[in-house]
Amino acid sequence: MTPTALARIALGWLAEPGTWTVYWLVRRHGPLAALERLLAGEVADPALRASVAARLAAGDPRAAAEAAAEHTVRLGARLVTPEDPDWPPRLADLERLWGRPAQRRVDRELAPPLCLWLRGGWPLHDVLDRSVAVVGSRAATPYGSHVAAEIGCGLAERGWTVVSGGAFGIDADAHRGALGAGGPTVAVLACGVDRPYPVGNTALFDRIAEGGLLVSEWPPGAAPLRPRFLTRNRVIAAATVGSVLVEAAARSGATQTLGRALALGRTAMVVPGPVTSAMSVGAHELLRKYPESRLVAGVPHILEEVGRIGEDLAPVPRGPDDPRDRLDDEAALLLEAVPLRGALDVEQLAARAGVDLRTVLRKVPLLEDLGLLVRTDAGYALAPRRPRRADLT
């Protein structure tokens, strides 16, 4: 592993991912010089200096970086940095969030990652090139689980990568839907790629590592601390073309991912749910609060939002074909003039419809061809109604 990569690991060991001061140090001076400045306390942020001092009391960051590198090799994982061609360029868009006012650190420290650990064989840049995030509640309802799985499967069948967080509920259902369709899926974790969380999804994580990628900003062995879940959400929002929220309660980390997507100028999509469901409150509130968010009801709508213009338009919902839809005003008027029982000759039709005889003679053959009128000895009568397929089920 290169000295630059080791310096990035050491910086991540000293300060949690997303720290703006560390990110700008690296941008200005490079990883090696940034590490020296941080170790020397040459930073203006007193909170960061105190945090670094506390970390230094626990060990040597260079030794920790070496140990993490060795663990990465033993695990069969790999490290990707911004110096690598495999680095996803969309992550740099997180710079747009610089200076956003917020009280909590997770809403303020939103800098791009310094490095990423991967477990799986797919090239990171390629697998994220056409990707959509599907996120939502851990306590998913049967409705939400079904929709998430359908979206995951449908996106994968159309060549899109499904990105989520690997959690119970909507995340896991979207991952499984993509895997079931034979497509790649990416789980962005809030812990080491060797420490799947939740443990109940261990088998799922193994499948993702075989058919997609496990991704994390934290080194192997890192614990899934609560703030890290919100920190990693910015990566899910930034790495993808757009984000879909399937279900979310009033207080849900998934809504934060949509908020990040909106702040980045990404497409933010929401699947509506029953107004009586507590798992729909957060989703519906997003639609109300952010007019730029888009309501989607399935994969065709999602592809219309994130796909290429003119190539991925969703079909317009239509009811069953009805021959009456093809009638002009005069033909429709004649048809309405025919009684439900009995028949009328052409003169009677003209009088009842209030049109001239010539018009009746022109329009009646059309109504016959469409199967709406039949000729009888007494004149013209309504054709027997043909049962539609829906009526036979």
- The residues spanned by each domain of the chain are 1-61, 76-306, 323-392
Write down the mean pLDDT value for the chain: 91
Task: Note the pTM of the prediction, 2 decimals.
Answer: 0.82
Fold entry, domain 323-392: Arc Repressor Mutant, subunit A (1.10.10)
Residue 110, classed as helix, strand or coil, is coil
Cα(271)–Cα(284) distance, integer angstroms: 9
pLDDT of residue 308: 61
High-pLDDT (> 90) share of the chain, %: 72
Quick count: other Cβ atoms within 10 Å of Cβ 89? 11
pLDDT (0 to 100) of residue 384: 84
Residue 314, CB-side half-sphere exposure with 13 Å CA sphere:
15
- State the Cα torsion 153-213-256-237 to the nearest 10°: -90
Tell me whether strands 242-245 and 213-216 are parallel, antiparallel or unpaired. unpaired
Distances (CA, A) of 59 to 17, 18, 19, 64, 290: 19, 22, 20, 7, 46
The whole-number pLDDT of residue 355 equals: 85
Q: Using one digit for the tens of pLDDT, what is the confidence trace for 171-221?
A: 999 999 999 999 999 999 999 999 989 999 999 999 999 999 999 999 999
Specify the pLDDT at position 391.
44
In the numeric block, the tokens 């626990």 are attached to 58
pLDDT tens across 146-180, in order? 999 999 999 999 999 999 999 999 999 999 999 99
Question: 76-306 adopts what CATH topology?
Answer: Rossmann fold (3.40.50)
Report the pLDDT averaged over residues 28-38. 96
Separation CA 196–CA 176 (nearest Å): 16
**What is the DSSP annotation of 283-299?**
HHHHHHH-TTSEE--SH
User: Could you give the CA distance from residue 205 to residue 265 in angstroms, rounded to a whole number?
Assistant: 30
- How do residues 292-344 score in pLDDT, each as one tens digit? 999 999 999 999 999 864 445 545 455 556 777 778 888 888 888 888 888 88
